[in-house]
Amino acid sequence: MKIHGYMSDGGKRFPEDALVLNPSKTGPYAVLDGYSSAYIGEPELSEGMTGGQRVVEILTANMLFGGVDINLTMRDIVARSLRAIRKRQPEGDKDGASMAAFQIEQCRKSINMLQVGDCLLIYRLKNGNVVCSPNLFLHLDLQTESAYNEELERTGGNISCAQKNHNLVWTEIKRKFANNPEDSANGYPVIDGNPDVEKLWWNRIEGLENIDLIIMMTDGASPKMTQDNQERRQVAKSLIKVFNAQGIKGLINLTDSDEEQTAYGAIEKEATILVAEF
């Protein structure tokens, strides 16, 4: 297995991405994308970190130390992380993280892949089939973008008012739908300490001998994905084609060229990529 990794903090004062490169040959390997309560100006800090940074730190530590014990599955490691997050989260805090990760399970000669939130996970089988994870937050993300644009138009271009409106909508969406398996249309998974995330996350297990390539990206690196399976697969194939032709530099160049196309204009953008060749 050959691993390629890339991470850029985008110049953010409080970067919340992480790239987990486990010294264990079995992993887990992951890209993580923390998120904090919506804020304008200075975020609230606890233990000197934003809420998103704290969750990412806990996940990273558990993945690195979990890789030492080959008896721990991906599910075990995430469950242990959730317990740690619940202990350290300030009361009422629902900051969390998206993730894409994989672990080689030697005893079953398989690869366990897990995707949560709006990170992207793509893999190609040796028979040529390409599988792409969904983005269960997509339609909710579009709602927050719409709220921003509507307020921007209503106020004649007042970015501060538009951002406040976006934050209000985003906070309400998170309160209603984060890790809510009862809402089949809007519930979405996020790592925030709630064990119900397991009911919503995307999980695939493939035979180790069948996997050819895995690409994982945080949302700052990945293209916008629709919920249409065929369209997602075509985008996934195009990313694999870029990697085959140019290596990880090609994927990084796509990220750089998309720098100004973020949902809310000139915002700071983080990007993290991990590619595994088998």
Average pLDDT over residues 163-175: 80
Q: Is the pLDDT score of 39 beyond 60? A: yes
Buried b / exposed e over 29-49, threshold 16 CB at 10 Å, is: bbbbbbbbbbeeeebeeeeeb
- pTM above the 0.85 mark? yes
Per-residue model confidence (pLDDT) at position 202:
95
3-class DSSP state of 1:
coil
3-class DSSP state of 233:
helix
Per-residue model confidence (pLDDT) at position 92:
63
β-strand 211-217 against 120-125: which pairing, if any? antiparallel
Question: Range of 77's domain?
Answer: 2-277
| CATH number (domain holding residue 64) | 3.60.40.10
Rg (CA), the chain: 18
- One DSSP character per residue, 149-201 reads HHHHHHTTS-HHHHHHHHHHHHHHHHHHHBT-TT-TTT-B--BSS-GGGGGT-
Average pLDDT over residues 145-174: 83
Q: Is the pLDDT score of 30 beyond 50? A: yes
Per-residue model confidence (pLDDT) at position 260:
41
Average pLDDT over residues 123-133: 97
Give the model confidence (pLDDT) of 87-114 as tens digits: 987 766 678 999 999 999 878 799 999 9
Q: How many domains are there within the chain?
A: 1
Place of tokens 């290596």: 247
3-class DSSP state of 51:
helix
Per-residue model confidence (pLDDT) at position 262:
41
